[in-house]
Structure 1
């Protein structure tokens, strides 16, 4: 028996929204069907003059990372960065045809597949599985997930916050009926916490530290047992039709390699990354930036078979909760041609 019965009442809202983005109705969807497999032919390598990659970025992660590492230099195509807040917005931009590639956690990719939106994973990295934190409102005394019984918990549907909260409740021995789940936009969560509209919420870095830093003296704190709630996957995704364009496919091949090399650089240049990203771009004190860096973890590059298993586990949590219809097989989302691209990038970058 599912431990998440109340989530079934919440799920139709997001599923309907994603279906609207993909042009499907709720009667048409059958989880795991209708998604073309990744192409098998070799990736093209020639990028014609005038090619542009329209990139969906979040919190300027990609832009600063590629610039700081030097991986934005001499690209054989134009890099066009577009700012988004959360994976669902990137999926919507895919649907509108205004993006070629985006960076997301595992959850938006799961929802896209559940709604038969053809997206493919063209880059995989893994950071900490504890990157999503459960934090409390000022004055909330709960220290553990179990102590949140009867409380209001904010999260954002369609993002990695959702399975993180579901996993936390399950491990804490709670059902969704034991709490009140409040779906908010990511940037609205800190204000809801500060005002006491909710008692706790899911946040990731750098938002978690930005919220806790000025509110810790007021009693806001992190729940102690909020570890290992997500897959830790960081994914580059692209619309399937983008890979049908030889120019774009060749550019994505190069971009996936540059992203991989840039993450490798980040692993070995902590001080510069903290200054360039957390201090200069996010206006966070250096000491807090160093703590965030430690909490987030350095990037690893799992074999795609391992990434599929971690991705599948998140899909199963969402399926069990009724947040997506039926059970998904996520294997077809991974374009395994890019595993070799990433392997070569790691070898050549040392």
Structure 2
């Protein structure tokens, strides 16, 4: 179904602006890499000074802590920032205005290649991630794509430095293709940009997440729009920090405590679906109850490993793939993880079933 004139104008604007922004980001990636300071021998204090303050960008966890009554129990001061994800958080890290951020696996890799020294201090996954993926591959009406093998020669929405962009490269690798076998169209993955691009025929395929997996075929299915599974694990989520923040002993202690509350919040979300639907999806995000129920139903359950060996091994595979496909120098993925925090999350939820060896 063709896009409306207004939608076409909006998308054209997004295409123009995003191309400029993303090209600028691509130019920056070639300049330097981060020094990746080793903090393994720096001891974290056993207790945190209650006057210590950290700035946290994790809106979902903020709401969960409020709903669960835990937010006022944090043993330090928190300044909440209404942002999360790679581009927003990396910009805030560079401005020295953020200490902790919720993000997927890719931003830390991208940051290393742009000279920003950061660490991952917590890791979570979904149980049964193939059955409960975060993304599905949206297919445009008339694109002639029924399987991953059909992607050859097609236009695919691509967001470098974000989880969706890495997933596209992993999908191509699974299909035996490279980026030279398709046309990657650089677009930000925010809001309804990808569904609009698919429905308007600007791209043939794009990774869709959240309620867009449900909404896109409902809106464009009569014209042939659909989603297909990619069959890959796409569920890593992390707490991400600038290395400078956790180099400070008291901020490191506060971050460790926050990891424990983050883990407990994830378990609370999983075990209180009704409160979460009403308090977060409906009241905070403005979604319908039906959408909230869909997201809970398809979200799987949290898995928070206390051993990051497999997590790091999988991160290394992603580093190596991105290195090959983006002409960047590969590096040891282990330098991205601050293993002083490795057991904090799992120990905080011990006995709940969430403390698993996920990450494989």
- Assess same fold via TM > 0.5: yes
Partner of 1:4: none
Partner of 1:154: 157
Among residues 310, 319, 325, which one is paired with 2:314 in the alignment? 310
* Structure 1, unaligned runs of 5 or more: 1-10, 20-24
Among residues 270, 273, 281, which one is paired with 1:267 in the alignment? 270
Query: Are 1:295 and 2:294 counterparts?
Result: no
Change (3 A) 1:210 1:245: farther
Partner of 2:74: 75
Secondary structure in 2 aligned to 1:241?
helix
Q: In structure 1, how many angstroms separate the alpha carbons of the residues matched to 2:233 and 2:124? A: 17
| Cα distance, 1:222 vs structure 2 | 0.6
Q: In structure 2, how many angstroms separate the alpha carbons of the residues matched to 1:61 and 1:215? A: 30
> Over residues 258-300 of structure 1, what are the superposed CA-to-partner deviations in whole Å (9 max), with x where a residue is unaligned?
0011111222222322332223333333344333334332110
Q: In structure 1, how many angstroms separate the alpha carbons of the residues matched to 2:272 and 2:231? A: 26
> Over residues 78-97 of structure 1, what are the superposed CA-to-partner deviations in whole Å (9 max), with x where a residue is unaligned?
33222336312211110110
Query: Are 1:91 and 2:90 counterparts?
Result: yes
Partner of 1:42: 43
Among residues 200, 206, 228, which one is paired with 1:195 in the alignment? 200
Among residues 27, 35, 58, which one is paired with 1:16 in the alignment? 27
**Higher relative contact order, chain-length normalized (CA < 8 Å, sep 6+):** 1
- Contact persistence 2:85–2:104 (CA under 8 A): no
* Structure 2, unaligned runs of 5 or more: 1-21, 354-360
Q: In structure 1, how many angstroms separate the alpha carbons of the residues matched to 2:93 and 2:68? A: 27
Runs of 4+ off more than 4 Å: none
Query: Are 1:332 and 2:332 counterparts?
Result: no
> Cα RMSD between the aligned structures?
2.5
- TM-score where L is the length of structure 2: 0.81
Instruction: Give the length in aligned residue pairs.
Output: 325
Partner of 1:319: 323
Partner of 1:120: 119
- TM-score where L is the length of structure 1: 0.83
Among residues 178, 183, 188, which one is paired with 1:185 in the alignment? 188
Query: Are 1:136 and 2:133 counterparts?
Result: no
Change (3 A) 1:64 1:345: same
Q: In structure 2, how many angstroms separate the alpha carbons of the residues matched to 1:82 and 1:332? A: 26
Q: In structure 1, how many angstroms separate the alpha carbons of the residues matched to 2:281 and 2:225? A: 22
